Structure 1
Amino acid sequence: MDIIVAGHICLDIIPDWRIGGIKTIIPGHILEMSGLKLSTGGAVANTGITLKKLGISTTLLGKIGSDALGKVILEILQKEDKDLVENMIISQDEISSYTIVLNPPDTDRVFLHYPGPNHTFNANDIPYEKIKNGRIFHFGYPPLMQKFYENEGKEVLKMFRRVRKMNIITSLDMAMPDP
């Protein structure tokens, strides 16, 4: 593999909202949607799939649960290329991360996010032996991953030092969350 894309991954659940704006949300009432889209989200999926589509040898490294949401994430990734998922970490006791994306017409999107295994993913989860032949290690969204932002980001530093000792080029996407 040329590039390892690691970090945040989730399932985006996007209702197809065609009529009415945000003001049509009334507590206790039903707001009918026109459909639903399921898509992978986060740096691992977004960057990794794009690199693969560009013909670059890529592997993905994110942490998901063994639940139904995790199975959907794997299915979406495997449709792109079955080899993309060979280094994914599957946690047996966690619910996969998801984001419900509310995208009403004429209003900016609202994200309802559950971090799940992204919060427990840490530098020790990386299979360093498996990635030692990579050329570039891209890590995405540490500000959205608890183990990487706590303790002043020492976990990011630990991980990057280890990867750089392997003579792999590193890249970091900070995806700054809202204040």
Structure 2
Amino acid sequence: MHSIDKTKKPRYAAIAAGLVCLDIIPGMQNIEGSDFDRQFLPGKLIETDETLLSTGGSVSNTGLAMHRLGIDTKLICRIGNDSFAEILKDLYRKIDERLLDSLIVDSDHMTGHAYVINPRNQDRRFFHHPGSSDYFTAKDVDDALLKSAGLFHFGYPPMIRTMIADEGSELLALYQKVKNYGLTTSMDMCVPDPTRSSGQAPWNKILQKTLPYVDLFLPSIEEILFMLDRSLYERLASTGDLIKHVDDVLLRDLSQQLLEMGCKVILIKMGYRGVFLRTSDTKRLSTMGASCPSDLSSWENLSVKQPCFEVEVKGTCGSGDTCIAGFLSALLRDLSPEETLKIAAGAGACCCEQPDAFSGLLSWDKLCDRINSNWKIKTEF
């Protein structure tokens, strides 16, 4: 593998918009996942280590990671006028005072928050309340910010009430608005609660309407299976390890469906197995907007898998979001597909070395140095 060129500078600023929350993470590094499942019973007390309060949601996880990776990033999200909001603002302020500039204060609704249950050797689980994020609309995205950026990323529309109402009409309006300014558009998803309106929304219809305006679609395998093939999702999820049962045929089928819906680049996150990249032809890639790669031929018609880097996992909270941040940060520097995938995998891996979504992240130079120093890759995808 050739070394990643860490000297390339970002071509544009970025916007990270969508859902934000305060993550409340009980210290569970000394609690094995299987033990927790057996012991977390009615009337039972489980002693934890110190609780960590951390920035959460797509806006925090992806936006702050891009900021750490050297991208000029504006955060557009709704917070309340409450103690949770004050904690979030203080956490942002400690990173960079400018991150507060585009926050929207919604005094009528509580700040979103999530309880992250993250025992050792087990994927995390959440209790989540969207709060003020539920009221995000296309009008919240200021035209002046769109004029000054080259990439727009929106995260977790399934968890935002306004985005799923009326078969996603507000989500469509948002992406149409952004595309009118010539930005490259990106979208990440989440698996909604199947018992709530978010889980019962007509996701196939929503994606068919919206993806023609989304250049980069970056879901996890769980998310896209939930939305495109609910019965298969439920069958594989019932095994306890959905990711293990995903094969190349399924990846090709799902990504082909998404390409036919209109997006140009698809990155499917596969947890401990890595990421899968699928791209369209040069004609469609050329319509990607400001952050379009300069060498379209190197991105054309790809179907590529990138395994994970090896780390000692202390938590998986935010790892998919930071993987996306790595991908977008490399794209904004016009790196090759190979380099972009390695940066994405590296950013996600660093995130897993700490229980929260931010403190494990490295700067751009340090991440490139770690990858260039023969960081060991898992041999199997």
With the length of structure 2 as denominator, give the TM-score of the two structures: 0.45
Matched residue, 1:96: 111
Matched residue, 1:67: 82
Find the aligned partners of 1:107 and 1:157 in 2 and give their Cα distance.
36
1:137 has 2:152 as partner: yes
Computing the radius of gyration from Cα coordinates, the structure with the larger value is: 2
1:7 has 2:13 as partner: no
Displacement after TM superposition at 1:144 (Å): 1.1
Asked if the contact 1:11/1:38 (under 8 Å) is kept, the reply is yes
Matched residue, 1:56: 71
Asked if the contact 2:27/2:52 (under 8 Å) is kept, the reply is yes
Q: For each residue in 1:42-78, what CA deviation from the matched residue of structure 2 results, as whole angstroms up to 9, or x when unmatched?
A: 1111111111111111110011111111111111112
Q: What SS class does the counterpart of residue 15 from structure 1 fall into?
A: strand
Find the aligned partners of 1:84 and 1:131 in 2 and give their Cα distance.
16
Equivalent position amino acid for 2:18 in 1: G
Asked if the contact 2:146/2:183 (under 8 Å) is kept, the reply is no
Equivalent position amino acid for 2:185 in 1: T
Displacement after TM superposition at 1:106 (Å): 4.6
Find the aligned partners of 1:100 and 1:88 in 2 and give their Cα distance.
22
1:32 has 2:47 as partner: yes
Matched residue, 2:134: 119
> Structure 1 residues 104-113 or 34-43, which shifts more?
104-113
Question: Which of 94, 99, 113 is residue 79 of structure 1 equivalent to?
Answer: 94
Equivalent position amino acid for 2:65 in 1: T
Find the aligned partners of 2:71 and 2:57 in 1 and give their Cα distance.
19
Asked if the contact 1:21/1:106 (under 8 Å) is kept, the reply is no
Which of the two has greater strand per residue? 1
Find the aligned partners of 2:54 and 2:114 in 1 and give their Cα distance.
10
Asked if the contact 2:76/2:140 (under 8 Å) is kept, the reply is no
Asked if the contact 1:22/1:107 (under 8 Å) is kept, the reply is no
Equivalent position amino acid for 2:117 in 1: L
Asked if the contact 1:100/1:113 (under 8 Å) is kept, the reply is yes
Q: What SS class does the counterpart of residue 161 from structure 1 fall into?
A: helix
Q: For each residue in 1:78-129, what CA deviation from the matched residue of structure 2 results, as whole angstroms up to 9, or x when unmatched?
A: 2111111200111112111111011234544221001101111111222223
Asked if the contact 1:10/1:41 (under 8 Å) is kept, the reply is yes
Find the aligned partners of 1:142 and 1:97 in 2 and give their Cα distance.
14
Asked if the contact 2:81/2:105 (under 8 Å) is kept, the reply is yes
Long gaps (5+) in structure 1: none
Asked if the contact 2:155/2:189 (under 8 Å) is kept, the reply is yes
> Structure 1 residues 44-53 or 27-36, which shifts more?
27-36
Cα RMSD between the aligned structures?
1.7
Q: What SS class does the counterpart of residue 61 from structure 2 fall into?
A: helix
Q: What SS class does the counterpart of residue 79 from structure 2 fall into?
A: strand
Asked if the contact 2:66/2:73 (under 8 Å) is kept, the reply is yes
> Structure 1 residues 129-138 or 87-96, which shifts more?
129-138
Which of the two has greater helix per residue? 2
> Structure 1 residues 107-116 or 89-98, which shifts more?
107-116
With the length of structure 1 as denominator, give the TM-score of the two structures: 0.92
The aligned length equals: 179
